[in-house]
Every structure is written in C-alpha cells, then in structure tokens.
Amino acid sequence: MAGAKILVVDDDQKTVDLIRLYLEKDGYRVLAAYDGRQALALARQKQPDLMVLDLMLPAVDGLDVCRTLRAESKVPIIMLTARTTEADKLLGLDLGADDYVTKPFSPRELLARVRAVLRRVADAEGKDPPQLRYDDLVVDLVRHEVRLGQEPVHLTPREFKLLETLARVPGRAFTRLELLDAVFGFDYDGLERTVDVHVMNLRKKIEPEPDQPRYVITVPGVGYRFEGGYGA
C-alpha cells in the first residue's frame, strides 16, 4: 500500500525520527504522537492505515491505547517495546496487536514488518488486483505467472518478486536497497549491485529490446522504476 498513512507513537523523539526516515523513504506518509492521549486523538482524527505503538508511554500507556482503539476500529497495530517477556508479548497480541517488535530494533526489520502487515490487510480486504496489466505485459499475482502477449515468461522466484514490487507502484523510483529488501529480505547481507544483475536478467525476458527498456527503467543515481510505456 504505497502512500499508506502510518501513525508512529513513541515518547522518544530520536526513535520517532528514525522510524519516520525509513517509512518516508519507502513512500509512506507519517504522523507522530509522543504520548498515549495524543495518539488516541490523532488516530480518531486522521484514521491512519497502520500504527507503530510503543507500550511505555506517558499519559496513557500503549496497552490502554491498543485496548481502546481495538474497541473502536480495525487499524493494524505493531507494538514496539523494550519489554521482552513472553507474557508482555502475549498480552499485547491478546489485546489485538497485529505484530510485536522489541527494542533495540532494526529499522529495516520494522519496515519489513510494516509492509507485511499492510499486505495482509490488503489481501484480507480484497484490495489487491488478481492481475497487473501494462500494454502486452501481464503479471498474474494469483497464479504467480507472467505473460508477454499470449506467451508465458519463465521467471525465477526472485525475478518475479522484483517485477511484482516495481509493477505494483508504476512510476515510483525504488532505490537498490529498497528492492534488495523486497526481493531478498531485510536480513540479506549481499551487495546492492545484486539488484542490477537481476534487473538485467529480467529485462532479457520481458523487454522487446533489453538495451532500450520499455518497462523497467533506470533512474540515474537512484535505482529503477516501472513504466507501462516506452522509457529512456
């Protein structure tokens, strides 16, 4: 869900700023609250698509915020906390949290969790189309197949994931790091240039002229974007 609105709630300014940096780089819109009372007010007023919620908050603690919101709405909640006991985790999940991340945390892991929760919500609500169609290119998300015209295109799983990631948000420039995260996972330790190799192989399979790509376009100094028509 590119452009999704995410409310980040934590009483530590540095933590909020760090999460905001990663989320905004990934195309999300970010709201911030620094105590439980403010979080409740913003959630009711702005109706975010997802909330990243610290448990240990002033005014109203995170568990009470989660309990209150779950009675009012279905907004997905990822709890973020220094509490690491199984009892704390189970309590948060029992109150309706969708996921649980402990501090200290990897921003890339949190970003991956945000993507996963939003994807589950979209799938549950039927928002994802079964196919993505651009000119002669069809990406079938249900059958996990690609066709060019009427001909099947045989992609590796990672080539398919790369194409799916780009084609879901046409026109958006993805950095190599973002594509590395999407295709290989946040814990992959490989080089960002690995993406270039996969793009090259993907172009050979879907582009009429791989040296003059029509779909997967290079964005100098950034990475790649997907276009439905001819690009430079």
Q: What's the pLDDT at 65?
A: 92
Quick one: average pLDDT of 99-116? 88
Count of all residues that appear for the chain in the document: 232
Nearest to 137 by CA among 178, 158, 179, 166: 166
Shared-domain flag, residues 30 and 49:
yes
Q: Is it the case that residue 228 has pLDDT exceeding 70?
A: no
Of the pLDDT bands very low, low, confident and very high (cuts 50, 70, 90), residue 119 is: confident
Whether the pTM exceeds 0.75: the reply is no
Count of structural domains, the chain: 2
In a domain, 232, yes or no: no
Nearest to 194 by CA among 157, 162, 227: 162
Domain end call among 104, 124, 144: 124
Shared-domain flag, residues 136 and 119:
no
Q: What is the DSSP-derived secondary structure letter of residue 211?
A: T
Quick one: average pLDDT of 164-169? 88
User: Which are the contacts of 161, defined by CB distance < 8 A and separation ≥ 6?
Assistant: 182, 183
Shared-domain flag, residues 120 and 156:
no
Q: For residue range 67-89, list pLDDT tens digits in order.
A: 899 888 889 999 888 766 666 66
* Full domain range(s) for residue 44: 5-124
Q: Is residue 66 packed enough to be buried (19+ CB in 10 Å), middle (13-18) or exposed (0-12)?
A: buried
Q: For residue range 121-145, list pLDDT tens digits in order.
A: 776 665 556 778 887 898 988 788 8
Q: Is it the case that residue 201 has pLDDT exceeding 50?
A: yes
User: Which are the contacts of 162, defined by CB distance < 8 A and separation ≥ 6?
Assistant: 179, 182, 183, 195, 198, 199, 202
Q: Is it the case that residue 93 has pLDDT exceeding 80?
A: no
In a domain, 230, yes or no: no
φ, ψ of residue 179 to 5 degrees: the values are -70, -35
Shared-domain flag, residues 112 and 161:
no
Shared-domain flag, residues 87 and 62:
yes
Averaged confidence pLDDT in the chain:
85
Shared-domain flag, residues 135 and 215:
yes
The CATH number of the domain where 220 resides is what? Answer: 1.10.10.10
At 164, list the tokens.
Answer: 């799916």
For residue 77, give the 3-state DSSP assignment.
strand
